[in-house]
Structure 1
Amino acid sequence: MAKANRNNDEPRLFKEKLVPSEPGSDDFFQTEYEGSRDGAVECLGQTFPSDEKRREYFLDKLREKLKDPAFRKIEGFPIGADEDILALSDPPYHTACPNPFIADFITHYGKPYDPRVPYSREPFAADVSEGKNDPIYNAHSYHTKVPHKAIMRYIQHYTTPGDIVFDGFCGTGMTGVAAALAMQSEDARVPSSIAPVRSAHRRSILADLSPMATFIASNLLRPIDRRNFMQTVKAVCAAVEAEVGTLYLTRHTGWKVRDRKRLKHKQYSHHSPSHGRVEFTLYSDVTRCPECSAETALYDVIVDEQNDTLRSDLVCPHCSAHVPEAKWEPVKTSIYDPVLKRTIQQLRIKPVLINYTVGTTRYEKLPDPEDLLIHDKAVDTLKTVCLPVVPLIPGKETQRNVSIGVTHLHHFFTPREHVFVAALLERIRGVCDSNLRQMLLFALTASLPYTSRMRRFRADRKGGGPLSGTLYIGSLITPPNVIRTFERNAATIADSLCPPVDPLRQHVIGTQDAGNLQLIPSDSIDYIFTDPPFGHNFDYSELNFFWEGLLGVVTNQKPEAIVSASQSKGIDEYRDLMERSFAEYHRILKPGRWLTVEFSNTKASVWNAIQSALERSGFVVANVAMLDKKQHSFKAVMTPTAVKQDLVISAYKPNGGFEDRFLTE
Structure 2
Amino acid sequence: MINDDNLALLYGKPFPSTRTGALFNAFSYPTKISPEAIALFIACHTNVGDTVFDPFGGSGTTGIAVKLCDKPSPELLKMAKQYGVSPVWGYRKAIIYELSPIASAIGNVMCNTSSKLFVEYATKLIDEIEAENPNIYNVIDSDGEEGTIRYIIWTDGVICPNCGKENKYSDVAIKYSPIEFIDKCTCRYCNVQFSINEALRSHGLQSDPVLNCKVDAKFRYPFKIYGTTGKKKWSRLATNDDWLSYQRMIEKLDFSDVPIKKIQWGDLYRTGYHFGIEHIHQFYTLRNVFVLSKLWKKVSEYPANIQQALKVFLLSYNQSHSTLMTRVVAKKNNKDFVLTGAQPGVLYISSLPVEKNILNGLRRKIKTFSEGIKILESSTSEVCFVSGSSVSTSIASNSIDYVFTDPPFGGYIPYSEINQINELWYGVKTDVSDEVIINGTQGKSLIEYQKLMSNVFAEISRCIKVNGQCTVVFHSAKSAIWRAIIKAYQTNGFSVSKTGILDKVQASFKQVNSTITVKGDPLILLAKRTKCTVKENYASDVCIAEQILKSHQSENKGKEKSERMFSEYIAECIEKGITITLDAEYFFNHE
Do they fold alike, i.e. is TM over 0.5? yes
Indicate whether 1:292 and 2:178 are aligned: no
Partner of residue 193, structure 2: 322
Indicate whether 1:641 and 2:516 are aligned: yes
Indicate whether 1:161 and 2:45 are aligned: no
Shift of 1:197: 11
Partner of residue 440, structure 1: 310
1:204 to 75, 88, 94: 94
* Contact 2:175–2:182, Cα closer than 8 Å, also in 1: yes
Partner of residue 502, structure 2: 627
Indicate whether 1:176 and 2:86 are aligned: no
* Alpha carbons of structure 1 residues 307 and 120: separation in structure 2 relative to 1, 3 Å: closer
1:306 to 171, 174, 177: 177
AA aligned to 1:372 is: W
Indicate whether 1:248 and 2:248 are aligned: no
Partner of residue 613, structure 1: 488
Partner of residue 86, structure 1: none
Partner of residue 190, structure 1: 77
The DSSP-based 3-state class of the residue aligned with 2:126 is: helix
* Contact 1:530–1:596, Cα closer than 8 Å, also in 2: yes
AA aligned to 1:218 is: N
AA aligned to 1:498 is: K
Shift of 1:217: 1.1
1:135 to 4, 22, 33: 22
Q: For residues 258-311 of structure 1, what are the alpha-carbon distances to aligned partners after superposition, in whole Å with 9 as ceiling and x for unaligned?
A: xxxxxxxxxxxx5x2x30001111110001111222211101111123211112
Shift of 1:367: 3.0
Q: For residues 208-252 of structure 1, what are the alpha-carbon distances to aligned partners after superposition, in whole Å with 9 as ceiling and x for unaligned?
A: 0111211111122123233x3223222211221122231211122
Q: For residues 567-619 of structure 1, what are the alpha-carbon distances to aligned partners after superposition, in whole Å with 9 as ceiling and x for unaligned?
A: 11111110000000000000010111101111013211111100000001111
Q: Name the CA distance, whole Å, in 1 between partners of 2:280 and 2:385.
A: 27
* Contact 1:624–1:647, Cα closer than 8 Å, also in 2: yes
Partner of residue 530, structure 1: 405
TM-score by length of 2: 0.82
Shift of 1:205: 0.9
Q: Name the CA distance, whole Å, in 1 between partners of 2:509 and 2:208.
A: 34
AA aligned to 1:339 is: V
Partner of residue 442, structure 2: 567
Partner of residue 108, structure 2: 218
Shift of 1:398: 5.6
AA aligned to 1:134 is: G
The DSSP-based 3-state class of the residue aligned with 1:536 is: coil
* Contact 1:303–1:459, Cα closer than 8 Å, also in 2: no
Q: Name the CA distance, whole Å, in 2 between partners of 1:598 and 1:193.
A: 19
Partner of residue 258, structure 2: 387
Q: Name the CA distance, whole Å, in 2 between partners of 1:234 and 1:119.
A: 45
AA aligned to 2:516 is: T
* Contact 1:453–1:479, Cα closer than 8 Å, also in 2: yes
Q: Name the CA distance, whole Å, in 1 between partners of 2:503 and 2:153.
A: 37
AA aligned to 1:202 is: R
2:39 to 152, 156, 162: 152
Q: For residues 38-78 of structure 1, what are the alpha-carbon distances to aligned partners after superposition, in whole Å with 9 as ceiling and x for unaligned?
A: xxxxxxxxxxxxxxxxxxxxxxxxxxxxxxxxxxxxxxxxx
Indicate whether 1:551 and 2:440 are aligned: no
Q: Name the CA distance, whole Å, in 2 between partners of 1:401 and 1:542.
A: 18
The DSSP-based 3-state class of the residue aligned with 1:489 is: helix
2:341 to 465, 480, 494: 465
AA aligned to 2:267 is: K
The DSSP-based 3-state class of the residue aligned with 1:323 is: strand
* Contact 1:455–1:464, Cα closer than 8 Å, also in 2: yes
Q: Name the CA distance, whole Å, in 2 between partners of 1:440 and 1:197.
A: 35
2:372 to 489, 493, 496: 496
Shift of 1:444: 0.7
AA aligned to 2:45 is: Y
Partner of residue 555, structure 2: none
* Alpha carbons of structure 1 residues 284 and 641: separation in structure 2 relative to 1, 3 Å: same
AA aligned to 2:109 is: N
Q: For residues 318-353 of structure 1, what are the alpha-carbon distances to aligned partners after superposition, in whole Å with 9 as ceiling and x for unaligned?
A: 222111113322111101212112211001111111
1:566-605 matches, cutoff 5 A: 566-605=441-480
AA aligned to 1:348 is: F
Q: Answer with 524-533 or 615-624: which moved more.
A: 615-624
Percent identical across equivalent pairs?
27
Indicate whether 1:422 and 2:293 are aligned: yes
Q: Name the CA distance, whole Å, in 2 between partners of 1:438 and 1:612.
A: 40
* Contact 2:18–2:33, Cα closer than 8 Å, also in 1: no
Q: How many residues align?
A: 516
Shift of 1:154: 1.8
The DSSP-based 3-state class of the residue aligned with 2:104 is: helix
Q: Answer with 129-138 or 549-558: which moved more.
A: 129-138
Partner of residue 235, structure 1: 124
* Contact 1:620–1:654, Cα closer than 8 Å, also in 2: yes
Unpaired runs of at least 5, structure 2: 332-336, 532-591
* Alpha carbons of structure 1 residues 384 and 630: separation in structure 2 relative to 1, 3 Å: closer
* Alpha carbons of structure 1 residues 182 and 655: separation in structure 2 relative to 1, 3 Å: farther
* Contact 1:401–1:473, Cα closer than 8 Å, also in 2: no
The DSSP-based 3-state class of the residue aligned with 2:422 is: helix
Partner of residue 336, structure 1: 207
Partner of residue 479, structure 1: 355
Q: Name the CA distance, whole Å, in 1 between partners of 2:271 and 2:524.
A: 34
2:325 to 454, 458, 467: 454
Q: Name the CA distance, whole Å, in 2 between partners of 1:638 and 1:381.
A: 42
Shift of 1:402: 7.9
* Contact 1:148–1:177, Cα closer than 8 Å, also in 2: yes
Indicate whether 1:345 and 2:216 are aligned: yes
Q: Name the CA distance, whole Å, in 1 between partners of 2:147 and 2:79.
A: 41
* Alpha carbons of structure 1 residues 238 and 152: separation in structure 2 relative to 1, 3 Å: closer
Q: For residues 356-415 of structure 1, what are the alpha-carbon distances to aligned partners after superposition, in whole Å with 9 as ceiling and x for unaligned?
A: 110111112233455334422443345445421111113122676785211111001001
TM-score by length of 1: 0.73
Unpaired runs of at least 5, structure 1: 1-117, 255-269, 657-665
Q: Name the CA distance, whole Å, in 2 between partners of 1:480 and 1:277.
A: 11
